[in-house]
Amino acid sequence: MAVTLIAMSILIFLLVELMPGDAAQRVLGQSATPQAVSSLRESMGLNDPVWVRYGRWAAGMLRGDLGTSLYMRGVPIASIFWRKVGNSLVLALLALLFYVPLSIVLGVLAGVKAGKWIDSIISFLGLATMALPEFVSGIILMTLFAVRIPLFPITSVIPIGESIWSNLNILVLPALSITFVMFGYVSRMQRSSMISVMNSDYVRSAVLKGLPLRRVIFRHALKNALLPTITIIGMNMGWLFGGLIVVETLFGFPGLGSLTMSAVKTQDTPLIEVCALFITAVFVISTAITDLLYGLLNPRIRYPGGQ
Amino acid sequence: MKRIMYIARHNPLIFPALFIMAFWLAAAVVGPSLTHFSYTGMDMDHQMTGPGVGGHLVGTDSLGRDIWARIVYGSRSILTIALLTSLFSSLAGVMLGFTAGYFGGRVDALFLRFMDIMMAVPPLVLSMVVLGVLGNSNILTLTLIVSIAYTPATARVARGALLGCKNIEYVDAARLRGESHLYIMFREILPNTIGPIIVEVTARFAYSIMMVASLGFLGVGLQPPTPDWGMMVIENKTIIKAAPWAVLYPSLAIASLVIAISLFSDFLGKVVLRDQ
């Protein structure tokens, strides 16, 4: 995990630092005198070799110093970054609250009724929503529930001076757009693991010894069928944050995604690096937690030689 | 053939899916000659007019540009890029994944480690940052970057497919005959793993369309005035109340194409699965 993070931080740093164009020139604009540019280069430390700059940057990150923004002259990134991350976290949590129960319930239903018409409908819905880019489902939701029936606002901006908690209605459409995409992955996973568990010997013997089907599903099958689903939800946390970029841009929601987008648009190198590193870290850490959780929930893989 | 028809009868959605795919293919090939509007032409008498008004099939945007013409021209670039991307990333994936899986041991361990690192960044974030940093995307850079972003995923599939039939007798036979590694990988193993790999190529095709559309939406795709489905959505989002058709039809174009290709890929998967 640490190796992946370090390798990724080097990759992100190199990628962004080696981009065409000069950071000092960008700060000062095209009309700046060469003397001004070179003195700023000196004071920003841009004349040092790449590995020295990486070392300085990485040390800053470890201390929690995120650096200063290029585009917003000298504004410390930390002063805006964590607030935006907080907003995104609320949005992501709401989306999780929507799609996890929905996908599990419908996935189990499709798995138990495999081959029946209800399974066909749920499977088609999963396939279709999984294929749609977040902004397409977002536009469809927006046309229906913000333009046709004006239940929710078109843009999800938070008025100045107010917190996200007093504006929860702006979160509904963005969270639903994320739900669309995630529902496909999770419900398909849940369906196929449910089918394989229902075909296993211990479930068959539970059915044959005369237990009611409901009891077999909830007491015997579900426990094991949930394992792969938990893995897929954990693994998709990185995906979720990638999807936030599109959804937040569509709705104008002030979160990590739209911050990343504006950093790329304004070529704000330090900010791009922080955003990309954070999204990577979320993915790496959530994958590690998923692995741990999986071991905890599934004692078979904890012992060498088991499984 | 009989079995394919049998599976098709049990998955009737494949027929509309094939029809939609053929429709967009035809639109890309001959569509531009069927519409008499150009994708940049501005009709000053019809700005933000609804479907059907002034001969504009699905209406116009705020500059009076014909949305249908822009969708039709846009189908060319998105289909080209997505097709090339799915082919390139699968090709690169097969080469990498096969090499790692075939030689195993340290090569394989190194490969897995590297893929773990590459997969730690969501492909969309990776492509967006790189394209944004490079600036001024064109068909070439888009194809290249998205292919690279997708290669880890395709390499894993290829490696898995190879491991499934690496230790079968005919491979041992070829080895004993003294065939080269390349011959064994591509003449013995590849034909036997071609099923899952074709399924992966078609699934990748759908993902690529999704990705190219999203990149266009984020403004790091093809640059204006080239029409791009994703870009059309974000361009016209500000007028969604006055002219909902300007965002809805490009979105529906993307939706119909990706869903149709996904259904097709799902169907191919079922055909291949029964094969084994």
- How many Å apart are CA B116 and CA B228, to the nearest integer? 33
Calculate the CA B58 to chain-centre distance: 25
- How many Å apart are CA A40 and CA A48, to the nearest integer? 13
* pLDDT at position B170: 83
Quick one: closest CA in B to A6, which residue?
B117
Give me the mean pLDDT over the B266-274 stretch.
81
The contacts of residue A86 (CB under 8 Å, 6+ apart) are A164
The mean of the pLDDT values for chain B is 84
Of B13, B117, B122, the CB nearest to A239: B122
Quick one: closest CA in B to A265, which residue?
B132
Rounded to two decimals, what is the model's pTM? 0.86
Q: Is the dihedral of CA B22, B27, B29, B35 positive or negative?
A: positive
Of A8, A154, A287, the CB nearest to B121: A8
* pLDDT at position A23: 66
Of B123, B129, B251, the CB nearest to A139: B251
A131 to B266: CB separation less than 8 angstroms, yes or no: no
| Run of H or E residues at A175 | helix A172-198
> B89 pLDDT band (50/70/90 cuts)?
very high
pLDDT at B223 over 70: yes
pLDDT > 70 fraction of chain B, expressed in percent and rounded: 98
What amino acid is encoded at A125 in this protein? L
Spell out which chain B residues touch chain A, with contact meaning CB-CB distance below 8 angstroms: 13, 113, 116-117, 120-125, 128-130, 132-135, 206, 210, 213-214, 217-220, 230, 233-234, 237, 240-241, 244, 247-248, 251, 254-255, 258-259, 261-263, 266
* pLDDT at position A306: 43
Asked if residue B129 lies in contact with residue A16, where contact means CB atoms within 8 angstroms, the answer is yes
Quick one: closest CA in B to A277, which residue?
B121
pLDDT at A154 over 80: no
A16 to B129: CB separation less than 8 angstroms, yes or no: yes
Residue with tokens 């003294």: B178
- How many Å apart are CA A179 and CA A240, to the nearest integer? 10
B128 to A264: CB separation less than 8 angstroms, yes or no: yes
| Run of H or E residues at B96 | helix B67-103
Using an 8 Å CB-CB cutoff, list chain B residues near A249: 217-218, 234
Segment A62-84, tens digit of pLDDT? 777 777 777 777 777 777 888 88
Using an 8 Å CB-CB cutoff, list chain A residues near B13: 124
Give me the mean pLDDT over the A237-262 stretch.
85
Using an 8 Å CB-CB cutoff, list chain A residues near B214: 133-135, 246
Give me the mean pLDDT over the B94-121 stretch.
86
A contact test, residue of B21, B125, B236, B266 with most A CBs within 10 A: B125
* pLDDT at position B28: 87
Query: Among the listed ranges A8-22, A211-225, B156-170, which one has the minimum average pLDDT value?
Result: A8-22
> A307 pLDDT band (50/70/90 cuts)?
very low
Using an 8 Å CB-CB cutoff, list chain A residues near B206: 131
Quick check: helix, strand or coil at residue B65? strand
Give me the mean pLDDT over the B223-239 stretch.
84
Using an 8 Å CB-CB cutoff, list chain B residues near A260: 125, 128
Instruction: To the nearest 10°, report the CA torsion of A145, A147, A148, A153.
Output: 40
Quick one: closest CA in A to B206, which residue?
A131
Calculate the CA A305 to chain-centre distance: 35
- How many Å apart are CA B25 and CA B204, to the nearest integer? 17
Asked if residue A12 lies in contact with residue A276, where contact means CB atoms within 8 angstroms, the answer is yes
pLDDT > 70 fraction of chain A, expressed in percent and rounded: 88
Is the peptide bond between B12 and the residue preceding it cis, with omega within 30 degrees of 0?
Answer: no
B60: which 2 tokens? 């116009």
- How many Å apart are CA A100 and CA A236, to the nearest integer? 12
Instruction: Give the Cβ contact number of residue B96 at 10 Å.
Output: 20
> B39 pLDDT band (50/70/90 cuts)?
confident
CA distance A286 to chain B (A): 11
CA distance B211 to chain A (A): 8
Using an 8 Å CB-CB cutoff, list chain B residues near A136: 213, 233, 251, 254-255
Give A157's DSSP letter: P
Give me the mean pLDDT over the B236-241 stretch.
81
